[in-house]
Structure 1
Amino acid sequence: MDILALEVFRTVAEQRSITKAAKILNFVQSNVTAKIKQLELDFKTQLFYRHSRGVTLTSAGITLLSYTDKIFYLLDETRKAVQDTSIPKGSISIGSMETTAAVRLPVHLADYHRKFPLVDIKLKTGPTEQLIDSVLHYQLDGAFVSGPVQHSELIQETIFKEELVLVTDKYGENYESVLFEMKNKNILVFRTGCSYRGKLESWLREEGLFPIKVMEFGTLEAILGCVKSGFGISLLPRSVVSELESRGDLHIHSIPDKFANVETVLIRRRDLYINSALEAFLNTVRQTEHLNI
């Protein structure tokens, strides 16, 4: 099987465009088209629907894409296994929720880099659902997400325990008045798939509160900036906002335990080859958190 053709196929599928794929791969468009046609001849089936907006995978194309992910994963795992040494080196790809990356991970990343400078760590942030999907599709070696995560193909380890708190501007001192005013407040959240957003929405439904507007943000800094300005309220880990509260920049309020108590777990695939670089990262996180996992 032509590995290059599979790489071309995967890129076209991700970009949903032959033109965009050609630009990314630095190919002329005719070469990309030829590779796709060759695969369709080899498999004796159509892999893409062509239309004015680009291309869309057929059902056969969707099946091939799932196997293509596995093929490239196995090739990468083979390379890691063959090149693995007792001295951690190479690269690892780790995913994280935005809040965890901002507050919890810096000390771990700095400690790991001091110990193992030959390893290149690639960090990707996103909501829990997106990160789980990336791990399942072999795009990340592991990810810090909100747990628990129940999936037969994944292993999870509890790394951090968080308390979610309601966050308001510095004038929101009275909890009862904050609840009363919430129906007129903007709710500031991360993108769909964020577990903290799900907790907030569940709590508001139980309280019978229906805010006028839910606004999505891509970064923690944007949410905190808008909260401090009085533009809206949010639900975030206490560890993220405790220092801001101590400075008088905002107020935090406790919510019921069943919505407040959450765990951050590190997930990885069960079939993942744990090379020395990834093993060293796992041990660094475990040791720093003083958890016997």
Structure 2
Amino acid sequence: MEFKDLQVFQMVAKKGTMTGAAKELNYVQSNVTSRIQKLEAELNTPLFNRHNRGMILTPEGKKLLIYSEKILSLANEAKKIIRNSEEPSGKLEIGSVETVIKLPIILSAYNKKYTHVDLSLVTGVTEQLQEEVLNYRLDGAFVTEAGRHPDLIHHSVFQEELVLISDLTPTSFEQLKSTPFLCFSKGCGYRAKLEEWFKDEKITPSKIMEFGTLETILGSVVAGLGITFVPKSSVSYLEERGVIQCHSIPEKYSKINTIFIRRADTYLTSTVEKFIETIDFCKEETNYPLSFV
């Protein structure tokens, strides 16, 4: 069983077709097919169920996917440990909750200082990013704190004040509760906080509308489509321009922490260590909170 076979296997599982995996890996399809057949022959079991629309993992394939992620992560970690030095280098894959407002300050400071690091960023909601870190697909991620996971190390970043925002139409607080709620998908920490508040107050939203980007959500609020729940620092510029209203909520639900997470069982390379140091440095050097949504 070769590392490359496992990489191909993971890509087929992700894309759901040989064609999609071949395109992503820049391989000819016959190469992808032969590697999957080789794996199945070596393990003496089918790893995928084939159907008209593509391929899905068999129960045995699902087991192999879990182990393949661990194997490839350990192999990558071994390379990092052997190559590790005071000067960070190699790949650093970071995740962040949607949408980053001040994170460019951290990324820029790190990228300028450590030029041999290939830094990449992916975005998503808290639950999704936590799973990516737990499954060794990300070196770390900025997420909203929602309890301690035993397999993760948490680094505090900052605390945010959450507010309800609406357009400028004069509206009572009771009317706001019955207005459509605009949000990210399930797994978003801010949405979870609002749902906790609604549940305790026995409020049932008239409608929940999910969006993929903060820009779309804020534009829809300004247009009067509904309300949303965001860090105050991320919309202060809109409030100053006079296009939205901010509404305070009970303190129990308005405070939320943003943290940086990484796996507890992985070696702390200089690449990750220096990134954490950069976070701490930027916190101390800036007079405003770093804001994520």
Partners of 1:268 and 1:127 lie apart in 2 by: 16
Structure 2 residue 1 is matched with structure 1 residue 4 = no
Q: Could you tell me how far 1:181 is from its partner in structure 2?
A: 4.2
CA contact (8 A) 2:126 2:187 kept: yes
Give the aligned partner of residue 188 of structure 1: 182
Q: What is the RMSD computed on CA atoms of the aligned residues?
A: 1.8
Give the aligned partner of residue 125 of structure 1: 123
Q: Could you tell me how far 1:211 is from its partner in structure 2?
A: 2.7
Question: Residue type matched to 2:274 in 1?
Answer: A
Partners of 1:168 and 1:265 lie apart in 2 by: 27
Question: Residue type matched to 1:220 in 2?
Answer: L
Partners of 2:248 and 2:176 lie apart in 1 by: 16
Q: How does 1:1-293 map to 2 (within 5 A)?
A: 1-99=1-99, 101=100, 103-172=101-170, 177-183=172-178, 185-290=179-284
Q: Could you tell me how far 1:93 is from its partner in structure 2?
A: 1.0
Deviations 1:212-257 (A, max 9, x none): 3211111111111111121110000111112221221211111112
CA contact (8 A) 1:47 1:61 kept: yes
Question: Residue type matched to 1:273 in 2?
Answer: Y
Return the TM-score normalized by structure 2: 0.91
3-state DSSP of counterpart to 2:227: strand
Return the TM-score normalized by structure 1: 0.91
Q: After TM superposition, what 4+ stretches of structure 1 lie above 4 angstroms from structure 2?
A: none
Partners of 1:168 and 1:254 lie apart in 2 by: 12
3-state DSSP of counterpart to 2:155: strand
Partners of 2:141 and 2:147 lie apart in 1 by: 11
Q: Could you tell me how far 1:59 is from its partner in structure 2?
A: 1.3
CA contact (8 A) 2:167 2:244 kept: yes
The more displaced of 203-212 and 4-13 is 203-212
Question: Residue type matched to 1:116 in 2?
Answer: Y
Q: Could you tell me how far 1:146 is from its partner in structure 2?
A: 0.8
- Return closer, same or farther for 1:282/1:56 CA change in 2, 3 Å cut-off: same
Number of residues of Structure 1 aligned to a counterpart in Structure 2: 285
Question: Residue type matched to 2:133 in 1?
Answer: V
- Return closer, same or farther for 1:199/1:122 CA change in 2, 3 Å cut-off: same
The more displaced of 231-240 and 109-118 is 109-118
CA contact (8 A) 1:227 1:233 kept: yes
CA contact (8 A) 1:141 1:272 kept: no
3-state DSSP of counterpart to 2:46: coil
Partners of 1:120 and 1:2 lie apart in 2 by: 25
Q: Could you tell me how far 1:50 is from its partner in structure 2?
A: 1.2
Q: What percentage of aligned pairs have identical amino acids?
A: 46
Q: Could you tell me how far 1:90 is from its partner in structure 2?
A: 2.5
CA contact (8 A) 2:91 2:117 kept: yes
Q: Which runs of no fewer than 5 residues in structure 1 stay unpaired? A: none
